[in-house]
Structure formats: C-alpha cells, structure tokens
Amino acid sequence: KAGVTQTPRYLIKTRGQQVTLSCSPISGHRSVSWYQQTPGQGLQFLFEYFSETQRNKGNFPGRFSGRQFSNSRSEMNVSTLELGDSALYLCASSPEGVRINYGYTFGSGTRLTVV
C-alpha cells in the first residue's frame, strides 16, 4: 500500500511569507503528527491530529498551525516566516485509537528554506 506522501518535497520562501505543507497518511491511518528537524535541535514535535482534532501540541509559536481533514489528510501552515524556520518538516502517520503501541510511518519530508 502507498506510504506517507508529503508535498512539496522542496520549498524556497522569503522571510515574512507564509507556507502550507501537505501530508497524506497511509490509508486507514487516523493519526498524523508533524515534526520539525534541524541540525541543532533534532526532531521537535509540532502537533498531532486524530480524527480532525488536535490532540497534542508542542512548544512552537502560534505562527505554526495545522489541521486535518475528514479523509485524514493534514496540512500545516507557517505564517510570517523567519530564517530560523528553515528545516525539514516531517509528517508521520499511525493507526492509533485506544492502543498506543504503534510506532510511526514517516514521509520523506518537505525541505523548507527561508531566505
């Protein structure tokens, strides 16, 4: 079956602009999580969505937001981009539900460069 699909793979934006990244999870997976990966900070948790509801949120400013649609596809948005937002943004999907012993399946990520 198809894996986790993230689009676009690469983005270059200018400081002050906004950006929307998309993630399509594995069919049947209802949980989608987003992580920011930078060389200095490693993998930082942004937020998790389950059945269109934000279930967990990391310690990021309000410029970072997300949503999940009824088909489990998710988008994240970053407004007023800063140079420090340059990173690899990873989406991960999981079946979830009551049991939480599943790991994640990751997409290949979106490489965002802010200039």
Partner 1 sequence: AQSVAQPEDQVNVAEGNPLTVKCTYSVSGNPYLFWYVQYPNRGLQFLLKYITGDNLVKGSYGFEAEFNKSQTSFHLKKPSALVSDSALYFCAVRDMNSGYSTLTFGKGTMLLVSP
Name the site residues for partner 1 (rule: CB under 8 A).
4, 6, 33, 35, 41-43, 45, 48, 50, 55-56, 90, 92, 96, 100-101, 103-109, 111
Question: Measured from the CB atom, is 14 or 101 closer to partner 1?
Answer: 101
**Residue 99 neighbours by CB under 8 Å, 6+ apart:** none
Q: How far is the CB of 54 from partner 1 (least distance, A)?
A: 11
Question: Measured from the CB atom, is 50 or 114 closer to partner 1?
Answer: 50
* Of 46, 104, 95, 99, the residue nearest 72 (C-alpha): 95
Cα gap 81→95, rounded to integer Å = 32
- Cα three-residue angle 56-59-64, rounded to 5 degrees: 85
Cα gap 50→37, rounded to integer Å = 22
Q: How far is the CB of 84 from partner 1 (least distance, A)?
A: 18
Q: How far is the CB of 16 from partner 1 (least distance, A)?
A: 27
Q: How far is the CB of 74 from partner 1 (least distance, A)?
A: 14
In this structure, is the dihedral angle defined by the CA atoms of residues 39, 45, 49 and 50, taken in order, positive or negative?
A: positive
Question: Measured from the CB atom, is 44 or 79 closer to partner 1?
Answer: 44
